[in-house]
Structure 1
Amino acid sequence: MAAATASSTAHVVSQGGVLEGDNPSVYDPSHPIILFIIQAGVIIIFCRLLHYPLSLLRQPRVIAEIIGGILLGPSVMGHIPGFTKTIFPAAAMPNLNLVANLGLVLFLFLVGLEVDLRYFIVNWKVALGVGTASMALPFGLGCAIAWGLYTEFREEGTVPIEFGTYMLFIAVAMSITAFPVLCRILTELKLLRTPVGIIVLSVGIGNDVIGWVLLALCVALVNAGSGLTALWILRSYVAYILFLIFAIRPAFMWMLRRNKSLQDGPSQSIVALTLIITLASAFFTGIIGVHLIFGAFLAGLMCPHEGGFAVKVTEKIEDLISALFLPLYFAMSGLSTNVGLLDNGITWAYVVAFIVVALASKFAGAMFAARLSGLVWRESAAIGSLMSCKGLV
């Protein structure tokens, strides 16, 4: 009983707080918001300051957030005694990660809101050609480079993985496009409604969905399961899209017309309903093995553009997501990256080879496919560059 009482009062914060000598940077699981505010403030301010010199080079804000995360992480500031333990202790990172991923889900919903499906239909042929070429070439080169990785970095005591499964995983990692990073760049550069933006967005969706299906196949093979799991995931995703189109969207449109939200703009209740649909959609795609962001994106696509509905919903929540949530998400990858672990020549050689092969193959495949589809060289090169986005989702 005494032990239970002691454990229950171990994290009690005094009523006087700092006035009674409490340290607000000490993580308290019963009051995680205090340290979270410190973390969010550090990340947002640091990334904003870092963006200023990068903006002179016309770099989007997401670049500052990714670099800022690396600088704040163990690679740089982690060498300052007590910095990581005080500001970013391991026990507090799940809370930061939760808020960051919620922000990512809402951001992809906003991207879906800004996209008009009619542009997808017009550009589907170009998107199909670019998507096939931009995935096939890096996939093949990923298969080629996988053997060296498999033999060089295989460690004793880890789960035994057949080379075929390992090769499939590396090839998928090489061939996908980082959908969140791509969307962030398209949004900041105001390219979402341009032909180039619509094409790369369409291709990015296809690339990543195929990538998640193949990843499910890898996991099934490692766990000695059935490869049919990947097929069921793809079927479930397609069935869910049809369900959204023919069941959820008509009911949602009926509700909007009944409440005159298309004419007068969304009320707070309609915004709440829209966000509930978004979270439910993200939940479903998450539990079937496709990332949550695709469910949120589909929910955004489902929303109508009539009467400026999508624009008005965007105006209500856009700034909060862009200013608070997104910097946390993109900085998170750097916070968990330790460049210092790349401590020998052969490791760095593979890092450089991976970067060169991944970017060059993706760029070349997408650019030449776009050019063969009738686009001019400038647009084709832009598509190749945008399709080369890499990330850590």
Structure 2
Amino acid sequence: MATITQRITDIATKTVASASASSTMRAAAQGGILEGGNPSQYNASNPIILFIIQAGIILIFCRLLHYPLALLRQPRVIAEVLGGILLGPSVMGRIPGFTNAIFPTPAMPGLSLVANLGLIMFLFLVGLEVDLRYFVSNWKVAVSVGAAGMALPFGLGCAIARGLYNDFQDEPGTVPIEFGTYMLFIAVAMSITAFPVLCRILTELKLLSTPVGVIVLSAGVGNDAVGWILLALCVALVNAGDGLTALWVLLTCLGYVLFLVFAVRPVFMRVLRRTRSLQDGPSQSVVALTLLIALASAFFTGVIGVHPIFGAFLAGLICPHEGGFAIKVTEKVEDLVGALFLPLYFALSGLSTNLGLLDNGITWAYVIGVIAIAFISKLAGGMLAAKANGLVWRESATIGVLMSCKGLVELIVLNIGLQAKILSTRTFTIFVIMAIVTTFATTPLTAWLYPPWYQRKLEA
């Protein structure tokens, strides 16, 4: 009996000593670098320190890259993706210990969470920017240019999808999916147009009020709307597992769109009129309500099996443009999203891109083929449709070049494919290269085809 009592006493003493040592260690960690702590060491209970280091490096890197690229009149997304590629396994990741110190695997979910919240806010802003009145007033030309500019790359995308599926679909990081679903995703990735980047390019080149600008914006609205619907179908098919469930998901999504338009929007408009937000601009409370609608909408589309960004985009679409309300909300939110959140998201795209996987002839053949299909087919489709509507050749060619711009939207589509495990890392890298090349080429070619002196000549 005495022996048992002694053993219990020894165990209790060791437990108290262990707890005391653990408490001492935890207390010592509170001193941080003053007590020899390493701030870059990931701590799951206090991840903010490493997150600040990651965000600071990404923002500085992207800003430094943007300065030389801005001289070439390139959109900021190019610098953000290139910054991520340089920080990823392709370049900086080859430095021993760099990735484990700055971007360790346990810390990536936190960075991804913040980046995806920014993506939801960005798609909400895209919905705010889309004014469907553009499409209504130019619907004939917009439908023909948008349809032709989407049909040709869609068809050729279906063709190249067979080769990509056979060669890369069984690689690590993918899930078994039917070829039809894979083909639909590749075709959408080939045929989509980056409406937000188009707006910025047209603004920078002062083309918004020209016939080319009006037609491209109108066609871009229709193109993106069809593209998002097809992408939602693709994601629903992947998440659902069978066609019947996917059909229910899409019908639920359609019902939700009708609910937003005929139930949420009238109530929201009544609140805006009662608070005089359309006349005087939105107050902080109204901005908070608007963002809550966006987040709630993102939540709903996320839980029914469609990506949350679709809900945020739909919430932006139902916001009114009367009295400049959409513009004023955008001004209040845009800077934080554009300056902090988006660089993190697109740098993550770069971090997921591994140029070292482009290590053989067949892979580079696909890189060239994907770029050629994405650019030439979009250019040809948009140009021929514009010419058929009575525009001159240089105007038509300019419209085709602008419609070939991929930019932000393409990278969002690719990241959805990577997260849904439709694309392998190698295929993702191939398409990221395509997005960079087509976006990079848009502004120089547009400035060359449609310079100010030529615009004045047409007006005369």
Please say whether Structure 1 and Structure 2 have the same fold, judged by a TM-score greater than 0.5. yes
> Secondary structure at 2:29's aligned position in 1?
coil
**2:368 is matched with which residue?**
352
CA contact (8 A) 1:77 1:83 kept: yes
Distance 1:22 1:284 in 2: 43
Q: Is the 8 A contact 2:239 2:305 kept in 1?
A: no
Measure the CA separation in 1 of the matches of 2:350 and 2:28.
31
Q: TM-score, normalised by structure 1?
A: 0.87
1:80: Cα distance to partner? 1.1
- The answer to whether the 8 Å contact 1:133/1:366 transfers is yes
Alignment of 1:309 onto 2:325: yes
Counterpart contact for 2:134–2:217, Cα < 8 Å: no
Map of 2:448 onto structure 1: none
Residue number in structure 2 paired with 1:210: 230
> CA 1:128–1:278 in structure 2 vs 1: closer, same or farther (change >3 Å)?
same
Consecutive unaligned residues of structure 1, counting only runs of 5 or more, are none
Equivalent positions of 1:1-393 (< 5 A) are 14-153=29-168, 155=170, 163-164=179-180, 166-177=182-193, 179=194, 182-187=195-200, 189-190=202-203, 194-195=213-214, 196-217=216-237, 223=241, 225=242, 227-388=243-404, 389=406, 390-391=410-411, 392-393=414-415
Task: Flag the structure with higher helix content.
Answer: 2
CA RMSD of aligned residues (A): 3.0
Structure 1: distance between partners of 2:24 and 2:133 = 59
The structure that has the greater radius of gyration is: 2
In structure 2, relative to structure 1, the CA distance for the partners of 1:255 and 1:28 (3 Å cut) is same
Report the Cα offset of residue 188 of structure 1. Answer: 5.8
For the 8 Å contact 1:200–1:386, the answer to whether it is kept is no
Query: Greater relative contact order: 1 or 2 (C-alpha under 8 angstroms, separation 6 or more)?
Result: 1
Distance 1:7 1:20, change over 3 A: closer
The structural deviation recorded for 1:189 is: 4.5
Letter aligned with residue 316 of structure 1: K
In structure 1, C-alpha distance between the alignment counterparts of 2:101 and 2:337, rounded to whole Å: 26
The AA in structure 2 aligned to 1:115 is: V
Gaps of 5+ in 2: 1-11, 416-460
Cα distance between partner residues in 1 of 2:323 and 2:100: 51
CA 1:386 to 1:219, structure 2 compared with 1: closer, same or farther past 3 Å?
Answer: farther
- Aligned-residue offset at 1:281: 1.4
CA distance in 1 between partners of 2:24 and 2:330 (Å): 44
Amino acid at match of 2:196: C
Alpha-carbon distance in structure 2 between the residues aligned to 1:78 and 1:364: 39
The CA deviation string for residues 351-377 of structure 1, in whole angstroms up to 9 with x for no partner, is 222221222222222332233244454
Deviations 1:167-221 (A, max 9, x none): 44443443344x5xx414523653778512232133122123213314434665x
TM-score w.r.t. length of structure 2: 0.75
